[in-house]
Amino acid sequence: MQNYRHLTIGVLALQGAVSEHCQQIEQLGATAKIVKNPSDLTALDGLVLPGGESTAIGKLMRTVGLLEAIQQFAQQGKGLFGTCAGMILLAKQIEGGEPAHLGVMDICVQRNAFGRQIDSFQTDLAVKGLEKPFPAVFIRAPYISTIENSRVEVLAEFEGNVVLAKQGKVLACSFHPELTNDARIMQYFLEMILS
């Protein structure tokens, strides 16, 4: 396994499974850092945007000045990884006319595409680049409805819908890899940062 000790990965701590993401980052040997305001982005190699409620997270990001700061972070070629609501935050477009938040990935997303909380499920998902299926946990998950740029690479689909994709150093994921004991998606993100 790669040595990730020199990597410092931020986790946006406005909502969602922040500690679970931090645990996976540390488990892989990298350093996890909580991000709550723009100054926390200094000296980070990448940033994870956890799940939660995308509209609420977007408002909080605007309030504390993180929206522009994260857009600049992405423009510097730093890694961004959005899970569930994080995927919605990354998208250039959101179905239903909700204004985009960060708009750093050439995708359109459908919110709550798999139903409500009660419709949550787990499935073994074939992921490009992983030898064995990944135990994907879907909770009020979005999916990518449209890809607007050939630079977006599809990494996994569920029932014909794109649920994991990357564009440059940006990774968007419908499901919650941090809620499993499997750190391979987080490891994939760390490898993207190093590539």
DSSP H helical ranges for the chain: 18-27, 54-64, 66-75, 85-90, 184-194
- CA–CA distance, 80 with 143 (Å, rounded to integer): 17
**20-42: b (≥16 Cβ within 10 Å) or e:** bbbebbeebebbbbebeebebbe
- Is there a contact between 111 and 54 (Cβ–Cβ < 8 Å)? yes
Residues 146/152/148/120 CA torsion (nearest 10 deg): 20
**Token pair recorded at residue 193:** 């940062």
Give catalytic residue positions.
84, 176, 178
